[in-house]
């Protein structure tokens, strides 16, 4: 099978990490090699971002107006150091978040069109899933995790980000991306099956 670049997106608590892992297991069971990764990446810029997002870390606080540039820098490093080498070696890459997160989250601070310009040169995924969740449910799930919240994890912000994902979906469709909204309130298994179905259809329509 040809190398595939798959992106899983959605509000915090929408289950992207779980679904990325399930896809990995599904591909592995077919004997295919996967590179499972995420953004912010585990490289030096990604680690700096992670640290700065934590609301308790005042020493590494980076303003919302600066973050979009850091996310873009992290993305370039992620493509150069991980995503492209993995695709070139014939692996399937699954990334838990990519530029769609920047469009949704950072679009709220500097505007969607500016974030879009900053990210338009990055290669498009072969297929993207937005796990679609009501902001109220997202907030409940985040609170239940019992972990410290990051700066995006307030109900008001989640409501804005949820709306922003609608604009991201429309923007990506308009530039010809293969992108699907999936109801993240279905069961974990149901979501997985819906995603598999879309991937199988994509592979049937363009197998090489
Ligand atoms: P993530 O590691 O997925 O957080 P969690 O494990 O808590 O779900 O992502 C960290 C946060 O970074 C998440 O709230 C989304 C945000 N983010 C952006 O704001 N812009 C981006 O470009 C990316 C990739 C993530």
pLDDT digits (tens, 9 = 90+) for 116-174: 999 999 999 999 999 999 999 999 999 898 877 787 888 999 999 999 999 999 999 99
In the predicted structure, residue 192 carries a pLDDT above the cut 80: yes
Give the Cα separation of 72 and 74 in Å (integer): 5
Give the Cα separation of 183 and 193 in Å (integer): 12
Residue with tokens 């150091």: 81
Looking at residue 147, its pLDDT comes to: 78
CATH of the domain at 109: 3.40.50.300
Nearest atom, ligand 1, residue 102 CA: 22
Q: How many domains does the chain contain in total? A: 1
Closest-CA residue, ligand 1 atom 9, reads 40
What are 13-71's pLDDT values in tens digits?
999 999 999 999 999 999 999 999 999 999 999 999 999 987 666 666 789 999 999 99
How much distance in Å is there from the Cα of 39 to the middle of ligand 1? 7
In the predicted structure, residue 191 carries a pLDDT above the cut 70: yes
Q: What is the pTM of this model?
A: 0.95
In the predicted structure, residue 208 carries a pLDDT above the cut 70: no
Q: Cis peptide before 40, with omega less than 30 degrees from 0?
A: yes
Q: What is the best residue among 68, 97, 115, 157 to mutate for testing ligand 1's pocket, by most ligand atoms within 8 Å of CB?
A: 97
Nearest atom, ligand 1, residue 97 CA: 24
Q: What is the best residue among 21, 53, 138 to mutate for testing ligand 1's pocket, by most ligand atoms within 8 Å of CB?
A: 53
* Domain span including residue 13: 5-205
């Amino acid at each position: 099978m040809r190398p595939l670049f798959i992106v899983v997106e959605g509000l915090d608590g929408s289950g992207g990490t779980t679904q990325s892992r399930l896809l990995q297991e599904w591909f592995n069971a077919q004997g295919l090699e996967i590179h499972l990764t995420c953004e912010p990446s585990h490289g030096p810029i990604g680690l700096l971002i992670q640290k700065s997002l934590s609301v308790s870390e005042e020493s590494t606080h980076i303003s919302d107006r600066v973050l979009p540039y850091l996310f873009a820098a992290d993305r370039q490093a992620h493509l150069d150091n991980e995503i492209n080498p993995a695709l070139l070696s014939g692996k399937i890459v699954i990334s838990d978040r990519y530029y769609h997160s920047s469009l949704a989250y950072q679009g709220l601070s500097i505007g969607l069109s500016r974030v879009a310009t900053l990210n338009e040169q990055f290669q498009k995924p072969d297929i993207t899933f937005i796990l679609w969740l009501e902001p109220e449910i997202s907030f409940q799930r985040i609170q239940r995790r019992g972990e410290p919240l990051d700066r995006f994890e307030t109900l008001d912000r989640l409501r804005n980000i949820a709306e922003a994902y609608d604009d991201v979906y429309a923007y990506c469709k308009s530039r010809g991306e293969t992108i699907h909204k999936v109801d993240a309130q279905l069961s974990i298994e149901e979501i997985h099956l819906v995603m598999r179905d879309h991937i199988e259809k994509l592979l049937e329509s363009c197998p090489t």
